Structures are given as structure tokens and as C-alpha cells.
Amino acid sequence: MDGEVPGPHSGDMESFETLVRAEFDPKTTYLNTASTGLLPARTLAAMRDAAQSAADGQPLDMFADVEASRAAFARLLGVPASRVATGASVATFSGLVASSLPAGAEVLTAEADFSSLVNPLHLRRDLKVRSVPLERIAESVGPDTALVAVSSVQSADGRIADLAGLRDAARAHGARTLIDASQSNGWLPLAADDFDYVAAVGYKWVFCPRGVAFLVVPEDLGESAGLTPLFAGWASGEHPWDSCYGPVEELAHSARRFDESPALFSYTGARHSLALVEELGVKAVHAHDTALADRFRAGLGSLGHEPVPAPGSAIVSVPGLGHRQGDLGRAGVQVSDRAGNLRAAFHLYNTEADVDRLLDVLAG
């Protein structure tokens, strides 16, 4: 996160565009990745093949796809695959972390952060959950803080958390950290080693089908933090096919002990989506996405609108324009209405023409 992210060279840009156009062909001006990302052609083809094989009575080894997805996500965040658990939602992983905290522990969150992250913490009625403005979260960490849970990028308006400041403050006070990277994974570089836990769904910026989520845990698998695999089933055993009946005698010696039983068809697709992100490179995606977002911000100024301040974000939220979502949709421009704000999310399949189309319709 620290420092400037360099943009791609011209030759890289050409290969980037060629690869993107081979995988995506949206029929609308799709600026709603913060809600759901588009499926690449390769992912759709893999899921169709898997479904047909299952219908033919010759199911593929989709558990291999789970492991390939786990490894790809681990590479994106710079950690060993042995530290990555797979599941279906951030809420489950947040609840898992919440369950590890002692009664009375203080948890620090950002105001109005995404419910899947914060609600499981609030449902532990014996925890002291304290919410502060996002801009104050690093300075609000104190000696009584046991856990800081925050989204790297806010879903509602695209604001980016001061993760470097949060990392340093948490380490200074001995607090653990849980980062929800659902709205940044795939376009904003993130070093998972800077934090105790990093969770993310895959159906937004890394183009996975719904039903795919990941959790990065510490090297000791959370044992020093009291992290317990409460949801462990047979798939969480060191030898899964020997763990189908009765209590699992030997849990996986890796983060796989925290796996949910996987949604196999979703992971069959995820494997190919994550491979595409690796081929494109997060730094190149970052440069592409943020350039488009900056173009939109500049255009908004010429229309007399001021977006929510979120420098460097691929998500742009415009107060008071959420009611235009319907008009925009009828014009073939897909955006979101979030709390009265118009939210546009710019990703690798978007172009400058998409930005200009959105501005034209808003001005119309």
C-alpha cells in the first residue's frame, strides 16, 4: 500500500487490452463491479463443462479447483497457501474471529462499515464494539483494543482506509487486525502479512462466481489468538476422505482446518478467474481502474457535482445522485444507489468511452 504504484508500459497496455477484450464483452456500460463483477469467458466455459460432466455422470475433480483457487489467492496476497482458508462469505469468517475473543474485549470498527464484517462482532453481546469515523480509526486504537476490524475500501463510497497507520497503531498496542478486502482485492495491492486476518469475497473485483470467499490467518493458524475451527466438517480434516464419519480425529495442519465445505462449481469457475487476475497483474489493473475513476471525478467537476473524497479509489460515490440510477439503467449504464449516493465502480473491462457515456447521461 505504501508508495506510488507504477503504471504499465505501452506494450504491456496492448497485451492487457487484448486479454481483457478476449474475456469480456458486456452488453451494457457496466460500472457496478462494487456490487458484482462480470464473469470472464474462460470462467463461464469451465463452469459449463463441469456442469455437463456432472450431468453425464462423469463429475470432474472439483476439489482440485478449490486448491488451485486457494493457491492463486495466496499468491495475490503474498502468503503461503497453507495460510488461506476457503469458504462462502466474509460473515462466516468474521464470526469465526469474533468467537476467538474473550468476553469483555474491545473491538474497534469504522462507522457504517459493511454489515457482513461488523454484524457478527455485534452479535457477540459480551464484546465492547466501538465505532469511529474511518479517518480516525488508526488514532483510535488504544491499550484496551483487542481487535480492529475494517474494510480496506468502504463499500458505500470507496474511501480507502489508512492501512499503514492502522497496522502501526495495532502493533504498538498489541491489538489484532481483521481486514475485509472484498472491495479492494484485485485492484489495490495489499500485503496480507501486515495484518492478522484478511477476508474477502471473490464475486466482485476478482470475477469469481458467488459462493467463493477466502480468509488469511496467521502463521500459527491463529492458535495464539484462540482461533478455533468451529465450522470444521469432513473437508477440514488432514485426510478428508478418512474424516467422513464421527468426530474428525485429525484437523488439517494448515488453514484448511477453517474451510467450509466448498461450493464446488463456484470454485471451478474461481480457479480460472483468479488465474486471469494473475495474468493481468494487480498493479496494471490498479493503474487502469484509478485512471478511469479520476477521469470521472474530473468530469463531475465540470457538471457541478462533488464526489465523496476518496483519492486513489476505483469507486466514486456522488451525493444526491442516487435517484438517477433508474434513468441510467434505462440508458444502458449500470451503477448503484447507495444511501442516496450514486456509486460508480471502474474496472478493467471499462474504458474511457464508458466514463464519457456516464457523464453524458448525467448531463442529459
Q: For the whole model, what pTM was predicted? A: 0.95
* Model pLDDT, residue 5: 43
pLDDT, tens digit, 9 for 90 and up, residues 342-363:
999 999 999 999 999 999 999 9
pLDDT at 364: 87
Could you read off the pLDDT of 255-286 as tens digits, one per residue?
999 999 999 999 999 999 999 999 999 999 99
Question: Tell me, what amino acid is at 300?
Answer: L
Q: Could you report the per-residue pLDDT of 179-211, keeping only the tens digit for each?
A: 999 999 999 999 999 999 999 999 999 999 999
Between CA 227 and CA 297 the distance in angstroms is 43
Average pLDDT rounded to a whole number, residues 55-80: 96
Q: Tell whether the model's pLDDT for residue 170 goes beyond 50.
A: yes
* Structural domains present in the chain: 10-39+281-363 (3.90.1150.10), 53-279 (3.40.640.10)
Average pLDDT, the chain: 95
Whether the CB-CB separation of 136 and 159 falls below 8 Å is answered with no
Q: Identify the pLDDT of residue 280.
A: 97
Percent of all residues in the chain with a pLDDT value above 70, rounded to a whole number: 97
pLDDT per position as a tens digit, 117-164: 999 999 999 999 999 999 999 999 999 999 999 999 999 999 999 999
Per-residue model confidence (pLDDT) at position 2: 44
Given a cut of 90, whether residue 238 has pLDDT beyond it is yes
Alpha-carbon torsion 296, 300, 301, 306, what sign? Answer: negative
Mean local confidence (pLDDT), 36-49: 98
- Residue 11 is predicted with a pLDDT of 57
3-state secondary structure the chain: CCCCCCCCCHHHHHHHHHHHHHHCCCCCEECECCCCCCCCHHHHHHHHHHHHHHHCCCCCCHHHHHHHHHHHHHHHHCCCHHHEEEECCHHHHHHHHHHCCCCCCEEEEECCCCHHHHHHHHCCCCCEEEEECHHHCCCCCCCCEEEEEEECECCCCCCECCHHHHHHHHHHHCCEEEEECCCCCCCCCCCHHHCCEEEEECCCCCCCCCCCEEEECCCCCCHHHCCCCCCCCHHHECCHHHCCCCCCCCECCCHHHHCCCCCHHHHHHHHHHHHHHHHHCHHHHHHHHHHHHHHHHHHHHHCCCCCCCCCCCCEEEECCCHHHHHHHHHCCEECEEECCEEEEECCCCCCHHHHHHHHHHHHC
Alpha-carbon distance of 51 to 304, in angstroms, equals: 50
pLDDT higher than threshold 80 for residue 7: no
Burial class of 58 by CB neighbour count within 10 A (0 to 12, 13 to 18, 19+): exposed
Q: Would you place residue 1 in the very low, low, confident or very high pLDDT band (cuts 50, 70, 90)?
A: very low
